[in-house]
Structure 1
Amino acid sequence: MNTTIADIARSAGVAKSTVSRYLNGGSVSAKTKKKIERVISETGYIPNSFAQSLKAKRTSMIGTIVPRLDSYATSRTLMGIDEGLREMNYQMLIANTNLNLEREIESIYDFSRRKVAGIMLLATQITPLHLKAFQEVDLPLLLIGQHYEGIHSLVHNDYEAGMKVGQYIAEMGHRKIAFLGVSEKDIAVGQVRKAGFQRAFLEVENTDIRFFETGFSMQNAFELTSRIMEEFSPTVIVGATDNIALGALKAANERGLRVPDELSITGFGGYEVTSIMHPSLTTMKYFYKDAGKEAAMHMIRLVNEKEVPLLTYSHYQLLERDSVLNVMIKK
């Protein structure tokens, strides 16, 4: 037989309303809290969060909208969000949009109808329809990975990270460079990361840098790299993500090019697989899980109407491995 709130109240010697208030995060005395927690521990009672949500003015649910689930960055970020929310007695509801903007907008309204306490959005772009939805649902909102003026955002420092990779490539002596980026509709990866990389070469002479647009998948990058190598022979390919870099590496292998001796390759992300492959990939590591956990903390502060910076940057670290040749030494 399932334990009920009434059972908990009877065993703890308190009113049902007191138990309900405790479960919904309301104020109870330390002594009462201890008694309720003891009974819950002894009975193994698991509260029905959804049922609580229907009764509570503010639920314990945080809606999290993601563009895709088959992404290392997304999965690690979600792990951090889930861990952070659980530590604060909140739960995560996930809506996957498969990069469909209409579904993204629908998910904002859907989460509002479900009475979530707040919404976190791992957006690829922010459109006027997004802004309209944000205004109409009127919920605490946090953007992750993209920045929009006036909206609380937690982003990777793509400009500085892009510049650091560019400086590293320049220091290694590379002057003939192919940068494989994504659509500029994606502000963070398609524009800011690329701009940071470009900035690093403003004062570097005798460079031939060509920018190409691809998708986020390894297959897209593989096909593009194969075409690039027919018309352009760069000494290094810079992928705007590790997936793009891995696609380029596959294309290089199929053409019989030795990495890094005949072609250097770098990426962005720091995916785990990049450390165990051969050659291991030089990449800019983003701390996705840490960023997710920090985002969860910010979200709950917003829910509780506490102060949160409008813009927060996550950490990054250049991982210098085996996929980039120092051309200066070779000469």
Structure 2
Amino acid sequence: MENKKLTMSDIAKMAGVGKSTVSRYFNGGYVKDETREKLKKIIDEYHYEPNAVAQSLKAKHSHMIGIVAPCLDSITSSRMLMAIDEYLKNSGYTTIIMNTNHNEIRELAFIEHLWRMNVDGIILLATTLTMTHQQIAAKLDIPILTVAQLFKGGISIIYDDYHAGYDVGEYGASMNHQNVLYLGVNQKDEAVGVQRKKGVLDALKDHQVKHVTVKETNFSFTDSRRIIHEYLTNHQPSLIICATDNIALACYKEIMERGLKIPDDISLIGFGGYEVSSLVTPSLCTIRYDNELAGQMAGKTMIQLIHKEPVAQTQLIGYQLIKGESVKKL
């Protein structure tokens, strides 16, 4: 018999037992020692591996965790995903990662799809949380954990975006910058688009910075490059504060190609703490969040939720201001 055609029914016939006995064997149920040895011999001989998804549908616990991510090319997201995956693997769980590419409809569909796959829990790396998210979470009979966004009424692990933003704005003001551009993202993203922006603007206001302009882009390097290109055609702020390092690097590229110097002509600050931000010259001033810690906390919290252990409703991840070389004191 060819290995690829071997099924649980075939194994049952070869061992002279019922299919339910084979199912119990794979799911850790009771099987007589004599029968267990017979099944093991057949399985080893044919190198049979059960379909993990199909097997999980019959098991009380699948030991699979679903992860819904907005993208896979973000440095911060990939750091966190790797930390979550490593923590869960070391704890005996398999992860199923779904990439939404920032598509909210796809995100909601993936949550329901993972639930139908009988995962033990879902970790959502969210960019936007809506009433529909709350409705879906309320009807699920498995735990759902959101990371990077505050899920009201649910369990969340979030970054301290407001205070990080405030520290950045305060640092810019302390370097005597009075003409500042803040390049942010849509307010649908509560963490980056609202809290991070609010922190920066509150600090600039509290320190009486005279000229503050706010422009909106998205997380795309290309789109951010286009927007800053248009802005710099008629304006030259002394400092640009960007909602992410990716946006900051788009500004970095545009500034340099215009023949301007960082920080002599324009100072620049980002958020993210990417490795590349320290490799460019001059190195970028940025906020470094502990993405690896966030991933480990997410894995640990999800396992606690599965075991119905008490957890904090909201857990906060700290940050570090890395001053770099891209901000000049005026």
Query: Shorter chain as normaliser: what TM range?
Result: 0.7 to 0.9
Distance 1:115 1:323, change over 3 A: same
Q: Could you list the runs of 5+ residues in structure 1 that have no partner in the other structure? A: 7-14, 27-38
Distance 2:148 2:224 in 1: 22
User: 1:143 aligns to what SS in structure 2?
Assistant: strand
Q: Which residue of 2 aligns with 1:11?
A: none
- CA shift in 2, pair 1:53/1:21, >3 Å: closer
- Aligned counterpart, 1:301: 304
Could you tell me which residue of structure 2 aligns to residue 61 of structure 1?
Answer: 64
Q: Which residue of 2 aligns with 1:258?
A: 261
> Alpha-carbon deviations, 1:254-303, whole Å to 9, x = none?
11110011110110000111111111111000111221111011011011
Q: What does residue range 14-93 of structure 1 map to in structure 2 within 5 Å? A: 49-93=52-96
Residues 45 and 236 (structure 1), Cα distance of their counterparts in 2 relative to 1, 3 Å cut: farther
Q: Deviations over 1:180-214 (max 9, x none)?
A: 00000111000000011112123222521111100
Question: Equivalences for 1:88-107 in 2 at 5 Å?
Answer: 88-107=91-110
The reply to whether residue 117 of structure 1 matches residue 117 of structure 2 is no
Go from structure 1 to structure 2 and tell me whether the alpha carbon gap of 1:191 and 1:19 turns closer, same or farther (over 3 Å shift): same
Change (3 A) 1:302 1:228: same
**For residue 202 of structure 1, what is the aligned residue in structure 2?**
205
TM-score with structure 2 length normalisation?
0.85
1:243 and 2:246 equivalent? yes
One of 321, 325, 330 as aligned partner of 2:328: 325
2 CA distance for matches of 1:249 and 1:82?
33
Letter in 2 for 1:92: T
Q: State the percentage of identical aligned residues.
A: 40
The residue identity in structure 2 corresponding to 1:238 is I
CA positional deviation for 1:58: 1.8
Alignment partner of 1:219 is 2:202: no
Answer yes or no: is 1:186 the counterpart of 2:181.
Answer: no
How many equivalent residue pairs?
305
The answer to whether the 8 A contact 2:269-2:327 is kept is yes
Unpaired segments of 5 or more residues in structure 2? 12-20, 31-39
Letter in 2 for 1:200: A
Letter aligned with residue 89 of structure 2: R
Counterpart of 2:184, as a letter, is: G
Question: Is residue 160 of structure 2 the alignment partner of residue 157 of structure 1?
Answer: yes
Between stretches 128-137 and 86-95, larger displacement belongs to 128-137
Q: Which residue of 2 aligns with 1:229?
A: 232
Q: How does 1:122-133 map to 2 (within 5 A)?
A: 122-133=125-136
CA displacement 1:49-107 (0-9 Å, x = unmatched): 43542331121011100111111111111001101101211111011111111111110
Higher alpha-carbon deviation: 258-267 or 217-226: 217-226
RMSD, aligned α-carbons = 2.7
Give yes or no for contact 2:53–2:117 (8 Å, CA) kept in 1: no
Q: Does 1:170 pair with 2:173?
A: yes
Q: Indicate if the aligned counterparts of 2:27 and 2:59 stay in contact, CA closer than 8 A.
A: no
